[in-house]
Structure 1
Amino acid sequence: MKKIAITGLGYSGLISAYEILQLCENIEITIYDRSAANGAGIAYNSHCNSHALNVVASKMSAIEDKADDFTKWLLDNSLIKEEGVADTFFAKRQYYGKYLLSILVDMQQRYHDLVKIIRVEVIACNKLSDGYKLTMADGRLAYYDAIILANGNTYDSNKINDNRYITNPWDFGYLEKIKTGVHVVIIGTGLTLVDIILGLQEKGYKGKLTAMSRHGLLPTTHQFYKEPMLNYVSEFLANNPNVRITDLFSIVKSKAREAVSNSHDWRNVIDSLRPYTQKIWLKMDIVNQKRFLRHVRAYWDILRHRIAPDTAKQVKSLIDSKGLITIAGRLKCVQTNDQNIVIAYQARSKRNIDYIHADYLINATGISQNPDSYGVLFKQMLADGLIRWHENGFGLAMENDCLLSSKENVYAVGPLTRAYLWESIAVPDIRKQAKRLALQISDDLHK
């Protein structure tokens, strides 16, 4: 009997365990998570009614081989009336969290002798001649044949010792302490900002919100179109075995202009890239990957990661009423005093420094790029050479899309692999990756 440890019980950890149990025989899995996560993780653990998925329900099955699994769950729980609705329905995120919990419960019932969950932090992983030794925060030791890192999203640790600075934007307990009328400044203008806005409004907040990012760009909105997918990407890849970001940007911009001039939807140009984004990323050298992250990422994020139409209406209404102001600028420094928080920033295309006085400051910059943010286990594994941080700075270095090194039975899945794959944070990407991981585990442990 082979033994596997998984660190993290968000979606990545849950679906990896599920796929391995479906495919592999004579496998025991232990999932470690110090939190109370039950498959939802940070992304789908929201209790705000206003927080919706950013993808239509019909595309959000958690299981690769069951395309309509989430749709069936919604029907079974009377959350939609007919199957066709799922093609245009942006379900509440709390619904999705309950759906993932149902998968976890079913998995535990079906495989109760083969899977267990331990609520403790893993603080060390040491290689042995015949496997790996894990050390827990409470001193316990456990031994495994393979390790899967599925820690998911994390955030930068608190660099300001002040309870008016909200480090973790996904711990929505702060919504209760922010009183109406105060000035809240948010660093970041992406999807996390939208969550914060909707959460505050749901709690009855009325006041001034200021959001800042380098470009000051807000997410675009989903629209439904009937145009067939474009086929320009396969031809581009055939002609560009080594992708340069300037060439890619040029063709995407050209196709978008062509679409708009023909009264077609520009979204189709971006969506037609979707099946190829990982291939494109892997064809870029490190110079072009860094160039993309530095110059193109902000635009890619708003065009690729869109929000539901109803959500967009709420954000627009807030902007129109001057309840939300966005600033394109670079944060320079933050100082605190008894009265407020003082934020110094340099507006885009300006040389002088401006200042904002806030009652609360919220970090909404997204997933941390700092390996130290991932805890003591990562620090130890990095120091011992069991894992490496990718040269582009966005996650772990990988041998392939699941395996960290050909010399180790140490694997990763989900957001930790985005440096290697780029697109590995959304459910449709992770469920495919988890399926491939199960196949690789089966091959590696049964050689």
Structure 2
Amino acid sequence: MHRRVAIIGGGAASAALLGELLARRPPQPLHLDWYTGGGTPARGVAYSTGSERHLLNVRAASMGMFAGKPQGFLDFVQRDDPSVAGTDFLPRRRYGDYLEAEVAQALAFGRLHGHDVQIVPFAADAVVPETGGVSVLRGEDVHRVDAAVLALGALPPQPLAGVSDGALAGGRYVVDPWPLLANPPADVPEHVVVIGLGLTAADVLLELAARWPETRFTAISRHGMLPEPHLHTTSLPAEDSALLVEAMQDEPDVRRWLRLLREAIAQEEDWRSVIDSLRPYTPGLWAALPLDQRARFQRHARWAWERARHRMPPSVHEGLAELERSGRLHRQRGQLYRVDADDDGNGLRLELHPHDRDASKMQTLHAGLVVQSVGMDFDVAGTPHPLMRQLVVNRHVLPDPLGLGCRATPQGRLLHDGGEWSRLFAIGSLLRGTLWESTAMPEIRQQARAVADQLLAG
């Protein structure tokens, strides 16, 4: 049993692990050091927004924090408002309230049973795994623990290739949209370009359109397509998913998998039932894919899978459709080539390759503001995150070869050149390359339970 554990990260994944550990009845009290990195513990970036327009992309009934209480969030909100249904898509702000309440309850329960929890409102500067333990460094302080868990969430976003220093220096190219949404500038731009058309871009477009009613928007992505919407009512997973999964496992080849999916979808009333039926099997299917097939999936099929698998609430889809009908939003296919400051210094100039990559058709756009909204960054090899840089440079962890977090076992044990660490774990986004689906709460709560089991088993 690992009695002294460091949990590094301040978001929902770390809160779920904390709750799992404190809910157990180990034979000896635990000592937990929780490095939250500042901000409100448990909320992280995802649930710190105060906007009612930023909705969860999963129905309320599926957003429980703990594997043993999958409807915990629904129970929480229904105590205040019994009219809330399990099929509702609620504001992320309310989920942040729920996480805070669960953490407070877990801490009170932990104190009652003799556990010692130190909330450290700073980031860890370095982590050094060793045979008999792990050293966690912050400034000049060194804390020796039995085990450590990295639950860092999203890595810091970086400017896309082709964005010039001049574009960044003027402040009109926004790399991280969340500070902008929390405190938009008083100088309202006439034209805003949003790079990306995923779920983050949807949040950006709806929020800025509401705050700046006279602004028009252009949203750019390689395929120019928004995420698919959820149905207004729930759909049941396909009944014959076991046969589909067995056929996919027999021949782990992306091209064959796409053909099998198309055939399965043709037999269902709605394609969502087929996609949703694969969710429990996704880690095993991903593990079965050879590396070259994973790379093929990344290049050719990832965009389609993401828009079908990670869907938006119907109200968000309808809000974006209304922006398009009113002429305020234009979606465009293309790939960013370069962003520079305009010659007059009052805006930015974007050069785009069209979808067919014909350089002779290069297109130029002008905007008062450009917002980068391309989703989460998983590349630990190139991240500016200080802790991950230290771990990678010192070879304590190995980057995933496709830039999807760290190499790890399916149980969350991080790998190094000599094998797997017995005392250094990860949950959440860092396991993207190992499990593929590793950023939504239903997966994270299962990971938290599995890592807690290993920590307490020693």
> Shorter-chain TM-score: which interval?
over 0.9
Equivalent residue runs for 1:142-291 within 5 Å: 142-158=143-159, 160-173=168-181, 175-177=183-185, 179-224=187-232, 228-239=236-247, 240-259=249-268, 264-291=269-296
- Give the distance between the partners of 1:377 and 1:24, measured in 2 at CA: 32
CA distance in 1, matches of 2:298, 2:79: 42
Asked if 1:86 is matched to 2:94, the reply is no
- The correspondence of residues 285-364 of structure 1 with structure 2, limited to 5 A, is 285-337=290-342, 338-351=345-358, 352-364=361-373
Shift of residue 229, structure 1, vs aligned partner: 2.5
Say if 1:146 and 1:2 are closer, same or farther in 2 by CA, change over 3 A: same
Aligned position for 1:69: 72
- Please tell me whether the aligned partners of residues 11 and 43 of structure 2 are also in contact (alpha carbons under 8 angstroms): yes
Percent sequence identity is 26
Q: Aligned AA for 1:246?
A: R
> Quick one: which of 389, 395, 398 aligns to 2:405?
395
Provide Cα deviations, 1:64-114, integer angstroms capped at 9, x if missing partner: 101221111111122x42xxx423211111010100010111122222442
What corresponds to 1:105 in structure 2?
104
Distance 1:130 1:184 in 2: 53
Amino acid in the other structure paired with 2:14: G
**Residues 130/75 of structure 1: CA separation in 2 closer, same or farther (3 Å cut):** same
Structure 1 gaps of 5+ residues are: none
Instruction: For residues 159-210 of structure 1, give each alpha carbon's deviation from its aligned partner in whole angstroms, at most 9, with x where no partner exists.
Output: 6333111111222456521644521111110000111012113324431111
Task: Measure, in 1, the Cα distance between the counterparts of 2:74 and 2:235.
Answer: 24
Counterpart-to-counterpart distance in 2, 1:276 and 1:344: 41
Counterpart AA for 2:109: R
Runs of at least 5 residues in structure 2 that lack an aligned partner in the other structure: none
Q: Aligned Cα RMSD in Å?
A: 1.9
For the 8 Å contact 1:233–1:276, the answer to whether it is kept is: no
Q: Secondary structure at the match of 1:87?
A: coil
- What amino acid is aligned across from residue 245 of structure 1 in structure 2? V
Q: TM-score, normalised by structure 2?
A: 0.90
SS of 1:373's partner is coil
Q: CA separation in 2, counterparts of 1:256 and 1:385?
A: 44
Match of 1:379 in 2: 389
**Counterpart-to-counterpart distance in 2, 1:70 and 1:227:** 21
Q: CA, structure 1 residues 388+178, in 2 after alignment: closer, same or farther (shift >3 Å)? A: farther
Question: SS state of the match for residue 409, structure 1?
Answer: strand
- Alpha-carbon distance in structure 1 between the residues aligned to 2:116 and 2:193: 48
Cα distance per residue 1:402-422 (max 9 Å; x no partner): 111334410000111111101
SS in 1 for 2:49: coil
Tell me the secondary structure at the aligned position of residue 171 of structure 1.
Answer: helix
8 A contact 1:49–1:92 mirrored in 2 = yes
SS in 2 for 1:94: helix
Larger CA deviation: 397-406 vs 275-284? 397-406
Pairwise CA distance, 1:382:
1.1
Structure 2: distance between partners of 1:110 and 1:328: 53
Question: Where has structure 1 moved over 3 Å in runs of 4 or more?
Answer: 172-175, 178-181, 224-228
* Residue 32 (structure 1) aligned with residue 16 (structure 2): no
- Give the alignment partner of residue 418 of structure 1, picking from 410, 432, 454: 432
| Residues 75, 228 of structure 1: alpha-carbon distance in 2 compared, 3 angstrom cutoff | closer
**Amino acid in the other structure paired with 1:302:** R
The residue matched to 1:197 in structure 2 has which SS? helix
Q: Tell me the number of residue pairs that the alignment of Structure 1 and Structure 2 aligns.
A: 435
Any idea what SS the aligned residue of 2:259 has?
A: helix
- Supply the AA of the counterpart residue of 2:147: A
The one-letter amino acid paired with 2:297 is F
Counterparts of 1:52 and 1:340 in 2: how far apart (Å)?
A: 31
* Equivalent position to 2:441, from 414, 422, 427: 427
Partner AA of 2:331 in structure 1 = T
Pairing partner for 1:123 from 91, 114, 125: 125
> Which residue of 134, 137, 144 corresponds with 1:135?
137
What one-letter code is carried by the residue in structure 1 that aligns with 2:37? Answer: R
- For residue 370 of structure 1, report the CA deviation from its aligned partner: 2.9
Shift of the 258–13 alpha-carbon distance from structure 1 to 2, 3 Å rule, reads same
Looking at structure 1, the residues matched to 357 and 425 of structure 2 have their Cα atoms a distance apart, in angstroms, of 45
Q: Which residue of 1 aligns with 2:56?
A: 53
Q: Return the alpha-carbon distance in structure 2 between the equivalents of residues 209 and 95 of structure 1.
A: 29
SS of the aligned residue for 1:122 comes to coil
The equivalent position to 1:42 in structure 2, one of 31, 45, 54, is: 45
Change (3 A) 1:389 1:242: farther
C-alpha distance in 2 between matches for 1:178 and 1:298: 35
TM-score, length-scaled by structure 1: 0.92
1:233 Cα deviation from its structure 2 partner: 3.4
